[in-house]
Amino acid sequence: MAQREWENEEQHGGAQEEQGGASTPDSTGKSAAVKKRQDKILAAVREKGFATIEALAKTFQVTPQTIRRDINMLTREGLLHRYHGGAGLESSTENLTYSDRKILYRQEKRRIAAMVAAHIPDHASLFINIGTTTEEVARALHSHQRLRVITNNLNVAGILAGYDNVEVIIAGGLIRHRDCGIIGEATIDFIQQFKVDYGIIGISGIDLDGTLLDFDFREVRAARAIIDNSRKTFLVADHSKFGRNAMVRLADITEIDALFTDALPPMALREKLEAADVSYYVADQD
């Protein structure tokens, strides 16, 4: 199908089905009914690897135009990849751009960040790594007193530099221009000089078997050093990370101390977390 046809259908097609289940939209502009259907579409594609528009329309009893619009939205969010006639899993080798990631699920990330900040006491030492959710955590720490933060994220450093009550230490290394992350051997060597109270890390994907996944092996090595040199590790991840693909393994989810998210994790992950006595916290909805 031509791109213009896809765009027209995204704007006009399937509106009738959505209006039937209309509710207050979330930060992505989706109603609860649309979000529920799209979550089920994601689950169906992840189970089979590929699903046709025709099959999805029949399963969810909506028009093909509605399914195409759903696939377009999920593709923009980096959760699916659109193919002719259907949808498959998103790339495991390339992440969304930083500007796109910064916008997606912004309100959810802010709720997660506020919840994390409530678990950080004054006078604590922290690592904060690369990621748009960890940047929201940095913003949420504005009222804390006498924190010492070590980071390999220039965006985090810039946020915290405006807080008189926070001492910021920046890791050395190579600056990754696309998101101002700092990576490389010098970064790892720097991180390994410290032992802090809390390590706050983001992640690109969480496999349903509990594997934490990312796209850049250099970023993963820095995050691994943070886990190894933190007394407690807090993982921050919005719901879109559950089941998402990426090619580089960071750790198993049982190696963290707590998961902070905005939606209840899938059952397989909850069972794994509970068996390993790993806490998980779900942010309240606005």
Q: Mean pLDDT across the stretch 26-51? A: 81
What is the edge-to-edge ordering of all strands in the sheet holding 80-83? 50-52, 86-89, 80-83
Using alpha carbons, select from 84, 79, 69, 86 the residue that is nearest to residue 101.
79
**Is the separation of the CB atoms in 53 and 86 below 8 Å?**
yes
**pLDDT higher for 193 or 88?**
193
Q: Tell me what pLDDT residue 92 has.
A: 61
Say how many C-beta atoms besides its own lie within 10 A of residue 54's C-beta: 12
As a whole number, the mean pLDDT across the chain is: 87
For 71-106, write each residue's pLDDT tens digit: 999 988 878 888 778 887 766 666 667 777 777 789
Q: Tell me what pLDDT residue 26 has.
A: 62
> Based on the number of CB atoms within 10 Å of its own CB, is 161 exposed (0-12), middle (13-18) or buried (19 or more)?
exposed
For the ranges 25-29, 90-94, 99-103, 216-220, the maximum mean pLDDT occurs at 216-220
Strand 196-202 and strand 211-214: the pairing is unpaired
Confidence of residue 3 (pLDDT cuts 50, 70, 90): very low
Q: Mean pLDDT across the stretch 226-246? A: 93
pTM reported for the whole predicted model: 0.74
